Chains A and B, each alone.
Chain A
Amino acid sequence: ETGVTQSPTHLIKTRGQQVTLRCSSQSGHNTVSWYQQALGQGPQFIFQYYREEENGRGNFPPRFSGLQFPNYSSELNVNALELDDSALYLCASSSGTIGPASQYFGPGTRLTVL
């Protein structure tokens, strides 16, 4: 059973560019959540996808968008990058039938915006 994987590990972009981050869920998991962790802060909930539909969203602007594919892998897209978007982006997968304790996190993608 493979865990949650994310790619790329690190990424450097410039302000105004667009970025796509990828996440592969743990086997058997149909729910994916994305979090942003700025330096010195705890992770902040961006949104959650369940069976290819966004079913929950935190306090993030529309330029943060996502997709979930039939195999339950997921993408996070960020348009018009700003300096404050520099952070560690974490993906977590879970089975929709089990409570929040079942969320398994990937190692994250470190995004730097210059």
Chain B
Amino acid sequence: DQQVKQNSPSLSVQEGRISILNCDYTNSMFDYFLWYKKYPAEGPTFLISISSIKDKNEDGRFTVFLNKSAKHLSLHIVPSQPGDSAVYFCAATRGGADGLTFGKGTHLIIQP
């Protein structure tokens, strides 16, 4: 029973264009959502997060949108750069000692 789903295993985007990564969740008790980026042979690196009381959070080239009624969030990267090529994980938590629930990840490939 996957509570966090990333339905696109991979995504290819041209350098300079917008990358949009999607994530759906089923547990309405989640109140904090995060995106992590992972390079091979490294641990996941925190990218950006959003609380359930907000619908948008921006940090430089990265923006996360949350649609609670649809139980959907997305990560926008503008403009996409070659260094953005990595696996992106969506994660959610109820907070406290609950741990993070991750999706399976989306492999983003930025084409020159």
Contacts and interface: CB of A to CB of B under 8 A. Distances in A.
Contact of B43 (A40, A45, A90): A90
B102 A42 contact: yes
Interface residues of B, number: 26
A45 B34 contact: no
A50 B95 CA distance: 14
B98 A43 contact: no
Contact of B45 (A33, A99, A105): A105
Given A100-B34, A105-B45, A40 B102 contact: no
Interface string A24-64: 00000000010100001111110110100001101000000
B100 interface: yes
Interface residues of A, number: 27
Interface of B: 4, 6, 32, 34, 36, 41-46, 49, 89, 91, 93, 95-105
Interface of A: 4, 33, 35, 40-45, 47-48, 50, 55-56, 58, 90, 92, 99-108
- State the 3 A-B residue pairs at the shortest beta-carbon distance, nearest first: A56-B97, A45-B99, A105-B43
11 contacts: A42-B91, A42-B105, A44-B102, A47-B99, A92-B43, A100-B34, A101-B34, A104-B46, A106-B43, A107-B42, A108-B43
Given A35-B99, A35-B102, A102-B46, 17 more contacts: A4-B43, A33-B99, A35-B100, A40-B104, A41-B104, A42-B6, A45-B100, A58-B99, A90-B44, A99-B95, A100-B95, A101-B32, A101-B34, A101-B49, A105-B36, A106-B43, A108-B43
